[in-house]
Every structure is written in C-alpha cells, then in structure tokens.
Amino acid sequence: MLSIELKTTPPETVAYISMRGPYEQIPQAMGRLYGWVAQHGLQPQGMPEGVYLDDPKTTPVDRAAWELRTPIAGEASDLAPDAECCGIKHVDPHLVAFAMHKGEYETISTSYDELMAWVMANGYQIVGPPEELYYSDPATTKPQDYLTEIRIPVAKTH
C-alpha cells in the first residue's frame, strides 16, 4: 500500500532531452543529457526526472514520447532543442499527487495503478503527463532498492 500525498512542485529551470522510442534508451539518454549540461557550463541541481508523454498501455513502445530532465542551478534562458535534442526550459509550479515506489523499474506499473486509482477516488483529474524523480543511482544501487518518486499532475474536480 502506497503512502499518497499532494504537494505543489517548486518552479524549476531544467535542461532536458526529448526522446522517442523504447525506455531502454534511458541510461544512454541520461548520459547524453548530463554531457550536454557539462558542455554548456551548467550545474545540475537535484534529482534527475523523467516525463512520460504517452501512455505505455496504449502507445507502441517504438513510438513512445518522453523527456528526461535535470534541474539546473542559477539563471538560464529558455533554449529550444538543438541537434542533440537537448534544451532548457522553465517548468511552472503545479499540484501533483505523489508516492514513493521502491523496487525495480519493471514493477512500477503497480504503483502507477494505485496512484491513479487514488487520484480518481479523491475527486481529482489528471492534467498533465506523469513524472518520475530518480533518487537512486542504478550504478550503485540494487534494483530492488531503487527509490522513484511518481508524480501525477492533478486538479480538483468541481
């Protein structure tokens, strides 16, 4: 049973990479993003994030659109994606229902199902794509110990 809560996210300036296709590309894409950040003299600040723009239950994995982000320190102007598919943007604060998933990424769908059921049962509607914050480094953490914060942007229904 997940512990589910609501919070308003802080405003963020993020460097991001836009991707399409299988999620197995995440480790390579994360490396590309952090390499791009370093090349541009930016300083990562906070947990890396994933935003999943398509529902994996209804979109073929080879067409899935998703984005990886890292919050960056200091001021930076928005920058449209370049040839590397990387850019900078500002993310406004937003209300999210969230829960912490512990375990392998392959088991995260169960936590999503529970979080989505809570959102609907408590009078909220989904107003944006799901977000994940990655608290664990797969290079140093066993998969069963991964910690991932799952966030669903929501608004109260009338």
Which domains can be identified in the chain, with CATH numbers?
Answer: 5-156 (3.20.80.10)
- pLDDT tens digits along 5-38: 999 999 999 999 999 999 999 999 999 999 999 9
- pLDDT tens digits along 42-53: 999 999 999 999
User: Could you tell me the pTM of the whole model?
Assistant: 0.93
- pLDDT tens digits along 62-118: 999 999 999 999 989 999 999 999 999 999 999 999 999 999 988 999 999 999 999
Q: Measured between alpha carbons, how far is 151 from 148 in angstroms, rounded to an integer?
A: 10
